[in-house]
Amino acid sequence: MKSIKKVVLAYSGGLDTSVILKWLQENYGCEVVTFTADIGQGEEIEPAREKAKSAGLKEIYIENLEEEFARDYIFPMFRANAIYEGEYLLGTSIARPLIAKRLIEIAKETGADAIAHGATGKGNDQVRFELNAYALNPDIKVIAPWREWDLLSREKLLNFAEKHNIPVEMKHKKGGSPYSMDANLLHISYEGRHLENPDNSPEDDMWRWTKSPQEAPDKVEELAISFENGDPVAINGKVKKPHEIFHELNAIGSRNGIGRLDLVENRFVGMKSRGCYETPGGTILLKAHRAIESITLDREVAHLKDELMPKYAKLIYNGFWFAPEREALQTLIDHTQKYVNGDVRLSCYKGSIQVLGRSSSNSLFDETISTFEDDAGSYNQKDAEGFIKLNALRLKILGKNK
């Protein structure tokens, strides 16, 4: 690994990656290229450019990837209604393949022979970054400083920064946030410190995006989401780009106290982890997407999707976005979305979402058959007798042997 000449670093400009940048220069004697992505985290990313320049870097990549993130990663995942372990909407997981893809592309553009990331050796992100990277470039070398160095505490990181004249923001000197946080267009997550005891309640001032349901407006907010081929394309009749859809849904969900989650999940590396999440727009979208599917999907297709969804979600959680089995499942899922078109009306109120109605030109809901009134012969109720008897046959046979 010491033969590395150039490395592309996933760089935020914060304490950890600023230390990593200098550490790479010292320990590998290599040229460093930084890559900073705006995927809707809501923070200014341009300061990372000046920090990288001050470290003597010449190749600095800062890119807004919000639209690609929403269109090519979030939307395909939501076509599957993917949730991990029954609750988690995969906000961190789905961002990693996009970042890994750009790291590999930039490595090719700049002639770098390695990439580096700031994920720790205990978490899922190291796996996600590296599996996705290897899928795209089997020969790439990966440097994961947290698996190599001895700077395993905030104090040691601060001491290293001071020793090497690395600018450190006051929030880091004072201890910073009591949580490890990750934010993007889909969600914001909180882990560590106070949350490490799963019996500790989340502190009220932890939540950054959403109002508490108790403090949300005492007024119902209604909205309509339009779908084409399973993807949201408009809100309240106004067509928007994929990332704009999420910005608006996040705003609606946040002010109505929607999308908070406190979860103990099973990490891929084997340990349990407690995390809290805010996914306001995604929570609304999942409700709406299932509603439009309820009238446009055939029963067996819908049930098959629900059976496959946990497998699909697990693949994303574990870092297998570019694996052939995920791509195969995506082909099937996308095929089911051909007629998932129409409008869903919803109401948001103090943390809850209700479906008010759904309509589609591709609806499979036939009122003439489903009605409790006179169906004019559309359905012969006598047919149900034979249906029941055939399904009961094996049960009756088994019953005689009890």
Q: What secondary structure does DSSP assign to 281-339, as a single string?
A: HHHHHHHHHHHHHHHHS-HHHHHHHHHHHHHHHHHHHHT-TTSHHHHHHHHHHHHHTTT
3-state secondary structure of 236: coil
Active site residue 153: no
Residues 172 and 187 in one domain: no
Q: What value, to the nearest 5°, has the Cα angle with vertex 326 and ends 322 and 329? A: 145
CATH number at 128 reads 3.40.50.620
Residues 155 and 18 in one domain: yes
Q: Which long-range contacts (CB under 8 A, 24 or more apart) does 3-6 make?
A: 4/28, 4/30, 4/113, 4/114, 4/141, 4/143, 5/30, 5/31, 5/112, 5/113, 6/30, 6/31, 6/32, 6/33, 6/110, 6/111, 6/112, 6/113, 6/114
Residues facing 357 on adjacent strands? 345
Residue 159's contacts (CB-CB under 8 Å, 6 or more residues apart) are none
What pLDDT score does 44 carry?
86
Percent of the chain whose predicted confidence (pLDDT) is above 70: 97
Are 264 and 273 in contact by the 8 Å Cβ rule? The answer is yes
Tens digits of per-residue pLDDT, 316-359? 999 999 999 999 999 999 999 999 999 999 999 999 999 999 99
Residues 151 and 251 in one domain: no
Residues 354 and 386 in one domain: no
Residue 301's contacts (CB-CB under 8 Å, 6 or more residues apart) are 336
What whole-number distance in Å separates Cα of residue 85 and Cα of residue 188? 18
Are 354 and 258 in contact by the 8 Å Cβ rule? The answer is no
Residues 353 and 388 in one domain: no
Cβ-based burial of 357 (10 A; exposed 0-12, middle 13-18, buried ≥19): exposed
Active site residue 125: yes
Q: Which residues span the domain enclosing 157?
A: 6-66+89-176
**Interior/surface letters 77-116, b for 16+ CB within 10 angstroms, e for the rest:** bbbbbbbbeeebbbbbbbbbbbbbbbbbebbeebebbbbb
What whole-number distance in Å separates Cα of residue 203 and Cα of residue 187? 18
What pLDDT score does 177 carry?
61
What whole-number distance in Å separates Cα of residue 84 and Cα of residue 192? 20
Cβ-based burial of 136 (10 A; exposed 0-12, middle 13-18, buried ≥19): middle
Q: Is residue 222 a part of any domain in this protein?
A: yes
User: How many CB atoms within 10 Å of residue 265?
Assistant: 16
**DSSP 8-state code for residue 129:** H
Q: Is residue 226 a part of any domain in this protein?
A: yes
pLDDT band at 176 (very low <50, low <70, confident <90, very high): low
Lookup result for tokens 């000449």: 5
What whole-number distance in Å separates Cα of residue 311 and Cα of residue 39? 26
**Mean pLDDT, rounded, for 253-262:** 98
What pLDDT score does 152 carry?
85
Question: Out of 71, 113, 180, 363, which one is annotated catalytic?
Answer: 180
Lowest mean pLDDT among 143-157, 301-315, 343-357: 143-157
Residues 391 and 355 in one domain: no
What pLDDT score does 180 carry?
87
User: How many CB atoms within 10 Å of residue 313?
Assistant: 22
Active site residue 299: no
Residues facing 369 on adjacent strands? none
Active site residue 343: no
Q: Structure pTM?
A: 0.94
Residues 236 and 351 in one domain: yes
Residues 164 and 218 in one domain: no
Question: Out of 12, 18, 102, 125, which one is annotated catalytic?
Answer: 125
The two three-digit tokens of residue 288, written as one number: 């709406």
What pLDDT score does 175 carry?
58
What pLDDT score does 190 carry?
96
What pLDDT score does 210 carry?
98
Residue 117's contacts (CB-CB under 8 Å, 6 or more residues apart) are 9, 10, 103, 125, 126, 129, 130, 142, 144
Q: Is residue 18 a part of any domain in this protein?
A: yes
Q: Is residue 72 a part of any domain in this protein?
A: no
Q: Is residue 16 a part of any domain in this protein?
A: yes
Residues 93 and 224 in one domain: no
What whole-number distance in Å separates Cα of residue 127 and Cα of residue 263? 21
Residues 212 and 285 in one domain: yes
Query: What is the CB-side half-sphere exposure of residue 23 using CA atoms within 13 A?
Result: 24
Tens digits of per-residue pLDDT, 279-297? 999 999 999 999 999 999 9
Using CA of residue 185, residue 239, residue 334, residue 285, what is the dihedral sign?
positive
Tens digits of per-residue pLDDT, 81-130? 999 999 999 999 999 999 999 999 999 999 999 999 999 999 999 999 99
Question: Out of 12, 79, 93, 96, which one is annotated catalytic?
Answer: 96
Tens digits of per-residue pLDDT, 32-53? 999 999 999 988 888 899 999 9
Residues 51 and 165 in one domain: yes
Tens digits of per-residue pLDDT, 193-236? 899 999 999 999 999 999 999 999 999 999 999 999 999 999 99
User: Based on the structure, what is the number of domains in the chain?
Assistant: 3
